[in-house]
Structure formats: structure tokens, C-alpha cells
Chain A
């Protein structure tokens, strides 16, 4: 228990010895105060400037030496230094910027200034009113009501008054940021300035009381939802043992689950449930064997799972005669339901909702992880933000300490290496290794793609008898096998090449999927109801992906741990490979998005799969794994994953679905769009029907004709989007420049401070000598 050094001092501070300020008499002096000097006067700017430069150089060289001296001199008395030195330090320690961390009064006045600045941002005082010699940064302050001389109670009431004048949202944000204790924040929030003001503000609240009640109810509901977080304890267990990095995988899984649940609910309510209520007349399906769960053919073919089941007519149309004649005309609400239109718009709406949610998540991740500014300061950042406070178990804490130690050693070695660069043969060797690794990676990718192409060609020419449906599983098996083995291969390459790029693995999967999409679209010549065939293919892919994930978990983690423990007798356990697992999730989600148009229940399958995956992965993690030893920036990698999910995965699926809707001819014999030229014609047909029935709304057809299909309008829109992006890039660039300039200014202020201290010391010395 004694390892943590208790500091003896309480809250009081004592200025510590800072030898950098210990300089013998400087050569620069102020002539005005003592007539016995012959040094340059302040009017002689050139000489003053050069002597200033000399002083800075002196100071800098002394600072470098002083840091080593400080270690040795720490316990020595201060008597041998400049006699006015302790006073100088005391004055320095009482500077406003230095007292912030110390007293409540200082904190309150700082936040008073900040809120006053917020209020006055729009109305700056004119420069004529203020003293010309006041520094520009001070001109914004109200120098009359300077709170530095007020008592603590006055300062508190001033701050409360300032807070009241802010808008409520800003007020609560400023209060959240003030580093005071909770009861003080509570008292600040409850303070009211004058009773008159209170009476005035009571009236508007009376009028919009119901609005505030609504807001209270909604926030209560959201709080309940937030409190009843699923898997809260499981996530806490995981983060306690393995840290934020492994936690990011499970949070990503939760995000994907949310996306799929929303898609599923939309499709359920608007498409699936209604079709289930009015089933079309089909021939009796073949009996259910267990193989359908894997292959998706057989009794599943003519079911709600696939596109082919959905009718192309208006459901529950009172004018049409239904074969069963079961609907009783006495029921009140019997609205006809246009199934093709509903199908197309629901798929579009689910894609749109997913897009909005994805962009919102990306925006949030970017906010947290991207910072405008330079990329230096890696070691400082590592030391201050490397310790993960979530980790609580003793063994994990020990591992974390070892990880941090390794990372620090690596960083220091890297910095040492940077100071002495590699020799030419070493650099050549490094470059050849990189080139070789790249060539290998590219070669394997191309090889996989070509192999899958030829294999799928072969599979499509083979026709399957009804009893041999297992053969259909061969293609998904090969693709999943490749997807599982490739990441291990890339891990080996990365270990050899000493570089890390998790994005390389996703390119294999995306390229293979792209090839398969092309093949599916060309399959329409073979299969009669080609959408159902494509849907079945995708269903098989999803199921195979799940099975292979299970196998990978079993072999990669469980078996490996048993081998390590029993055969090799080592204490190390297999590591949880975050990148590979996340990329598997992204691959599975891409399959789902590709298949939504052809198999509307595929999101439900994906929801089930993700639920099972959570529990299986968690169990395997707890039993078999240890936390990863590579440094892992959790928030940066979360941003990378969400971006990978959006950019190749979601956009690719959206492009594929849009192409199918816009250009592909639907099959003639099945599905809700049979008989049309393209799926996109459905709303056009509907609008024409509306025009026929009611000529007054002919203007409604103006929208698709002149807005959606007009190329000029689309060019205009994309021009606006590009202009906004360009504007934002310029703003960012300007902000970066401002940050550089401000950093220079801060460094200059530090130099100014040293200069002034020197001046004070020299004046003091001269006074002592002249006196």
C-alpha cells in the first residue's frame, strides 16, 4: 500500500525553486531609474532589440542546463540565489493565470470572465472608450467591474448573474464545465438575481407549460430507455477485463444490431405483415427438411423470405374478386394496399434511414476523434491518456502496465532512430520488404478473385437435382473460407513487414463481393425467377458466414488456448483479434444490405445472427482470450470502422440496389414488379393512375419529371454539395493556421515574462547598489 507517494503538503502551495531564472546580473538595464548607468535607453530601439535577443539566448542556454541542475539542487537552500528571488516567485505565483487551479475565487472569476465574453461576443466595446495602452486581449473585458477585488460571495453572485443572461442551453453547458463541487453548482443554478425578474419570467412559462411537460415526459422516456440498456453489465465486465479496445468491437456489434432492427421493423410493418395477412395462392410447398435452414431452397422458396412470394397486385382491393371470398363487407376500414409501391418505397426508406443513422454515427465519431492541429506530442499524449481507468482486474491491470511499458520503449526507440536515420543498405532492405509484401498481398487478392470467378461459373452451369441441394453450399463455403484465411495471412505479412493496415483485408472481401454481384445480375438468363435465386444465394452466404465465424472462434480461440496450455505449457492465451472480427461483421452486414431487395426477411436473419454472435463471442472471450498487446487507439479505430462500414460497404450495396431498381428488368413470372420494364416504373405508373382518377393533381407529376430526372437539377445539387465541402476544407485550413500563430504567440509571451523578470531583478540590483 505504500507504493503511492503521499504528498505532505495540503492545499497550500509554496513556490518552488526554478533555477532557470537564476541568472547573474544581466547586461541590459533600464536607464531611467538610476542615473549612474550607461546602458541603452528604452528609446534606442535597435540596441534594445539586440540586447533582448542576447538575453533570450542566454536564457535558453541556461534553461537547458538548469533542468539537469534542478535534479541535483532540489534540496539546497535558496539563499545563494538572487535575494529578491523569493519575492519574484511569490508575485509570479499570484498571477491570475496561475491561481486558476488553486482557489474557488479564482475559478469563479475565470468563469465570470468567460461568460461575460460569451455575452459580449456580438457587441465589442469601441476602441475609443478604452485606454489606448491596454492590450488588445484586455479590451474586451469590462475593466470597471473587475471581480479581482470583490469578496467571494460577490464573485458568486456576479457569476450567477452572468449565467442567467445566457440562453438556457449554453447556461447548462457552461455549468457542466465549471470545476466546482456539485453543491456549489446546484446553488449557482438555483440563484435568482432579483424578484422583479422572477415575476417577469414566470408569465411565459405559464403559457407554454404543456410544452415543457411534453419535453419532461420525452426526456423521462429517453432516460428510461437509456437506463434499461441491454447488456450493460456484460459490457462492463468486458471493459473491466479487457479495456476499451475490445469493448469497441462489442459496441460496434450493438450499433449494427440497431441498424438491422430498424430495417426489419420498417419492412415488417409495411411489407411482410400485410403480405402474410393476404397470402397468394401457391402450390403446396415441399415438406420441411432441416437442410432448408442452410440452403434456403425447398420449402423456403415460396415463402415470405424471398421476393418471389410478394404479389404485384393491390391487396384487399374491394373491386377485385378474391378467390376465397372470405373478407366480410361489413368491416369498416378496408383500405386497398398497393403492394408493389409499398415494397419499393419501404426498401428505399430503410436504406435512407440507415444512411442517415450511419452519417450521424460517423459525425459523432469524427467529433470525438479528429482534432485540427499538429501531430506532434505523441509521447505526452501517450503518457497522459494511455491508462484505461475502466480496467479493474488485477491481472488485466498488470497486462496494461506491461503494454504501456512496451509502447513507451518503442516510442523512445523510434525517436532515437529518427535522430539517427537509417543507412542506405538498411533503407533499401526496408523498401524491398515493403514492395514484396505489397506484391504478395495484391497477388493473393487477384488470385482469390479469379478463383472465385471460375468456380462460380462452374457452379452455375451445374444444375441441381431436388435431392442434392447441398451442392449449392459449395460457393458460399469457398468464399467464407477465403474470407477467414486471408486475414490470418495478412497478419503474418504485417508481422513480417512491421506495418499495420486493417483496411487491406476488407478489400479482398469487397472485391469478391463485387465480382459476385456482377455474376448475379448476369444470372437472369439462367434462373426463371432470378430475384429469388439471388436472394437464396445471399441467404446461403449469410448462413455460411455465421457458421464460419463460429468455426473460427472455436478453432482460433478455444483450440489454440488448449494447445498453448496443454502442449506448449505456456501461460499466454490467444489474443482477441479486433480487426479481423470487426471486418467479419462488416462483411456480414454488406451481405444483408445487398440482399434486402431480394429477401425482405434477411435483416431478421441478421438480427438473430448478431444476437447469437454477441453471446458466443463474449463467452469465448472470457474463457479463452487475453487483451491485445498492440497499441490500439479505441476512438480512432471506431471512426475507421464506421467509415469502412459506410464507404465501401453501405455505398456499394446502395449502388447495387439502385442499379437493380433503375435498369434491370424484373422477372416476368414472380414478384411484385412482374410485367414492368424496370422497378423504377412503379411510382410512375401510380402517378399516372392518380392523374387519370383526378385531373386536378396533374401538377404532382411535375415533380419526378422536372426534379428527379432532370440532369440540370442534379448537376446543380452536386455543385452545391461540392461547394460546401470546399468551403469546409478552407475553413479547416484557416483554423490550422490560426492555431500555429497562436502557439507562436504563447511562446512569445513566455519569453516576454522571462524578460520582464530579468528587468525587475536588474532594477532591484541597481537600487541596492545605488542606495
Chain B
């Protein structure tokens, strides 16, 4: 974080906490699933989000982060929540719905209407930027 001071004002802290997926990240990596992390969970989180983590490991945890209802599938409602968080609800509902349908059409390989872990990993392999964006610098 910063190396020039040790006490942060609330405004400064706020400036560091604006990732829309922060709650999901905390839930995925916490042992009990409610967002409270032990030291090992914290280490796990930064190990996965570091530069050296292999692509499949990052894809696995990214899948869990985007799976909002924890049913091991990314269904259309999960996708809609993701798109709304990414764009801060700026898109119209029709556009969001159209985008989610297109995503399922493009990525769903076994035609069950939702994305499983294998579909997600298969798609992420074709995303060269994934390794550099799913990365937090410490």
C-alpha cells in the first residue's frame, strides 16, 4: 500500500477499496464463506492473485468469484450481476440481457444453458489478457 505513513484517513482507505468484486473475493477465499479470513486464507488469496499463479488455478478461483449463488455454475443471473457490477448499472436491462445471452451462446459448450467450470476454463484459455488483469500487485 503506502510506505510513507502508517495511519490512513477514512477517505484514503476508501480510495483503495473500490473493487466491485471485493466482497466476492473475500467470500471465496474465506474458510467459512462469510468473508472473514484467517492468515492462511489471506495468503491463499494473494498467492492466487500473484504473478506466478498458473492460469488454471486463477481460472478456478475466478469462476468461483463470478458464481454469485455458489451453485458451481455461472448461470444467466450470475452473468447479469457480473455485468452490472462491471458497468455500475450503466447499461439498460435489454443490453445486459442480450450480452448475457451472447456470452452463454459463445461459451457454453455442452448446451445446458449455463457455464460450468470446464466451459469457463476453456474460454479463459483463449483470453490472453486474463493473466495480467487477474493480478494484484503487492
Contacts and interface: CB of A to CB of B under 8 A. Distances in A.
Nearest to B63: A101
Contacts of A402: 90
Interface in A77-136: 97-98, 100-102
Interface residues of B, number: 84
Interface in B123-138: 123-138
A20 B114 CA distance: 11
A14 interface: yes
Contacts of B9: none
B70 A11 contact: yes
A176 B99 contact: no
Given A4-B22, A390-B135, A635-B129, A20 B99 contact: no
Interface in A370-428: 370-371, 373-374, 376-381, 383-390, 392-394, 397-398, 401-402, 404-405, 408-409, 412, 415
Interface stretch (A236-244, A287-295, A434-442, A583-591): A236-244
B110 A753 contact: yes
Nearest to A236: B137
Contact of B106 (A368, A377, A746): A377
A381 B110 contact: no
Contact of B53 (A6, A176, A636): A176
A71 B100 CA distance: 13
A751 B109 CA distance: 11
Interface stretch (A179-187, A355-363, A612-620, A721-729): A179-187
B134 A385 contact: yes
Interface in A709-724: none
Interface in A292-331: none
A401 B90 contact: yes
Interface string A157-193: 0000000000000000100111101110000000000
Given A4-B20, A635-B129, A747-B109, A179 B71 contact: no
B72 A102 contact: yes
B57 A394 contact: no
A749 B86 contact: no
B128 A369 contact: yes
A16 B74 CA distance: 12
A226 B88 CA distance: 38
Given A386-B86, A394-B15, A747-B110, A408 B133 contact: no
A258 to B, nearest CB: 18
A244 B123 contact: no
Taking each of B18, B27, B81, B129, which has the highest tally of chain A beta carbons within 10 Å of its own beta carbon?
B129
Nearest to B115: A380
A97 B112 CA distance: 14
B117 A67 contact: no
Nearest to A233: B3
Interface string A589-629: 00000000000000000000000000000000000000000
Contact of B126 (A101, A235, A377): A377
B71 A381 contact: no
Interface in B24-80: 24, 27, 32-34, 40-41, 43-44, 47, 49, 52-54, 56-57, 60-64, 66, 68-72, 75-77, 79
B1 to A, nearest CB: 9
B8 interface: no
A633 interface: yes
A275 B20 CA distance: 61
A223 interface: no
Nearest to B48: A179
B113 A385 contact: no
A380 B34 CA distance: 28
A66 interface: yes
Contact of B72 (A5, A13, A376): A13
Q: What is the predominant secondary structure among interface residues of chain B facing chain A? A: helix
Contacts of B120: 384
A384 B62 contact: yes
Contacts of B14: 394
B117 A101 contact: yes
A402 B91 CA distance: 10
B128 A371 contact: yes
B99 to A, nearest CB: 6
Contact of A385 (B83, B102, B104, B124): B124
A177 B120 CA distance: 16
A518 B57 CA distance: 53
Contact of A244 (B49, B98, B102, B132): B132
A9 interface: yes
A383 B81 contact: no
A746 B54 contact: no
Given A67-B101, A244-B132, A401-B88, A5 B40 contact: no
Given A377-B106, A393-B18, A383 B83 contact: yes
B14 to A, nearest CB: 7
B71 A409 contact: no
Contacts of B52: 176
Contacts of B20: 3-4, 387, 397, 401
Contacts of A101: 60, 63-64, 72, 117
A397 B19 contact: yes
Given A10-B33, A389-B19, A405 B87 contact: yes
Contact of B127 (A10, A98, A384): A384
A179 B33 contact: no
A244 B134 CA distance: 11
A736 to B, nearest CB: 12
B128 A751 contact: no
Contacts of A751: 111
Contact of A380 (B3, B41, B44, B103): B103
Contact of A412 (B57, B71, B95): B95
B112 A18 contact: yes
Given A70-B76, A385-B130, A182 B135 contact: no
B127 A385 contact: yes
Nearest to A396: B18
Given A63-B113, A97-B118, A404-B87, A385 B70 contact: no
A750 interface: yes
A44 interface: no
Contacts of B125: 371, 373
A384 B34 CA distance: 23
Interface string A10-25: 1101111010100000
A412 B103 CA distance: 11
A168 to B, nearest CB: 17
Nearest to B118: A97
Contacts of B107: 377, 380
Contacts of A397: 18-20
A570 interface: no
A642 to B, nearest CB: 14
A98 B76 contact: no
A696 interface: no
Given A412-B98, A750-B109, A384 B123 contact: yes
Contacts of B75: 16
16 contacts: A10-B32, A11-B33, A66-B113, A98-B72, A181-B44, A368-B128, A374-B126, A377-B123, A378-B106, A380-B102, A384-B130, A387-B20, A387-B21, A392-B15, A405-B87, A754-B111
Interface of B: 3, 14-16, 18-24, 27, 32-34, 40-41, 43-44, 47, 49, 52-54, 56-57, 60-64, 66, 68-72, 75-77, 79, 81-83, 85-88, 90-91, 95, 98-99, 101-104, 106-107, 109-113, 116-118, 120, 123-138
Interface of A: 3-7, 9-11, 13-16, 18, 20, 63, 66-67, 70-71, 74, 97-98, 100-102, 173, 176-179, 181-183, 233, 235-236, 239-240, 244, 368-371, 373-374, 376-381, 383-390, 392-394, 397-398, 401-402, 404-405, 408-409, 412, 415, 633-636, 743, 746-747, 749-751, 753-754
Given A381-B129, A398-B88, A408-B83, 6 more contacts: A4-B22, A179-B60, A182-B44, A377-B107, A408-B95, A634-B133
By Cβ-Cβ distance, the 5 closest A-B pairs, closest first, are A750-B110, A369-B128, A4-B23, A405-B87, A385-B130
